[in-house]
Amino acid sequence: MKTPVLAGKVIPMKKKSFWATLKKQKVLLFMSIPFIIHIIVFKYIPIWGWTLAFQNYWPGKGFLQQVWVGLDNFRWLFNDPVFYQVLRNTLAMSIIQLVFGMLSSITLALIINEVRIVIFKKTAQTISYLPHFISWVVAANLVRDLLSTDGGIVNEVLMKLKLIEEPIMFLGIPKLFWWIIGASYVWKEVGWGAIIYLAAIASIDPNLYEAATIDGAGRLRRIWHITLPSIQPIIVILLIMNMGYLLSSGFEQQYLLQNGRVIDYARVFTIYELDYGIKMMRYSFATAVGIFRSVVSLVLVFAANYLAKRLGQERLL
């Protein structure tokens, strides 16, 4: 008979103490609850909107008057050849951006770390951050001018070097589109991406370098045997973390640089959703596209997390 009494005593006490504590903490509650409601409205209610994908939604009708179609929208989606094109484009451009973005940022960090003239180092760094802060609208404008056929510097340089006879319309060549996206991404983010690696390099124990110098290692060998292995964990973490975002990255860049000629290589998920959802008013179909992207992204993020944990790296979530 002893235990039930004890349990019966403990449980209400715990409950009472929760509400009592909460009452004591009412100021904290008042400070946070409006924003919790805010985040629920703006981030969680759209998830309720996923029900649209299982209807043949038409605005103006009530929730119960909608025609429910089960998985039809997903069946259409998986039978749409454009969907596979979109999937291919998104993955291709994300992977190009991920690989070249990381490689260039790591290289830049290593290079900046070798600069001994402080003022030069600081100036170069500050300048390298500039493109990160401008919008893709501005960046797309600059890219368009650089690649333009009348007086774009890229065509002019290539012609001066006699590599080409006449200006090439780079933005009109479908096969080149992915690489233009990759190159402009690297141009915009290389300096910003280097910050995190520079921070990692700065935290390396200087004794390691001293020891290596005494052993007769030159600067190159110090980079190879000390700097790179020391920042390897952060490289692995960032690589895995970014793999979780393979389907959710980028849209503005593609939308702003595309044109009719290259659309088959430029169409990514958000453009697909915009075209079907807003322009063609196939709301339910576009919602299904969004659900596919969200769910696959979620799986990727958790897989990435699990992988990072298996590899003994710091947990990301």
Hey, which residues between 261 and 300 contact other proteins (CB under 8 A)? 270, 273-274, 277-278, 283, 286-287, 289-291, 293-294, 297-298
The reply to whether 307 sits near other proteins by the rule CB under 8 A is no
Residue 189 within binding range of other proteins, rule CB under 8 A: no
In the complex, the smallest distance separating the C-beta of residue 71 from other proteins, rounded to whole angstroms, is 17
Q: Is 193 exposed, middle or buried (0-12, 13-18, 19+ CB in 10 A)?
A: buried
Show contacts with other proteins in window 99-128 (CB under 8 A): 108, 111-112, 114-115, 120, 123-124, 126-128
Site map for other proteins, 61-90, x if CB under 8 A?
------------------------------
Site for other proteins in 134-163 (CB under 8 A): 134-138, 140-146, 150-151, 153
Stretch of 67-75, 76-84, 95-103, 251-259 lying at the interface with other proteins (CB under 8 A): 251-259
- Check residue 173 and report its DSSP letter: -
Q: Which is nearest to 237 in space by CA: 200, 209, 206?
A: 200
C-alpha to C-alpha distance for 190 and 132, rounded to whole angstroms: 8
* Residues facing residue 68 across a β-bridge: 55
User: According to the binding rule CB under 8 A, does residue 256 interact with other proteins?
Assistant: yes
Residues 159-188 that bind other proteins (CB under 8 A): 187
CB contact set of 102 (below 8 Å; sequence gap of 6+):
193, 235, 238, 239, 242
What does the alpha-carbon distance between residue 185 and residue 196 come to, in Å, rounded to a whole number? 17
Per DSSP (E only), the strands in 202-256 are none
Give the nearest distance from C-beta 114 to other proteins in angstroms.
Answer: 5
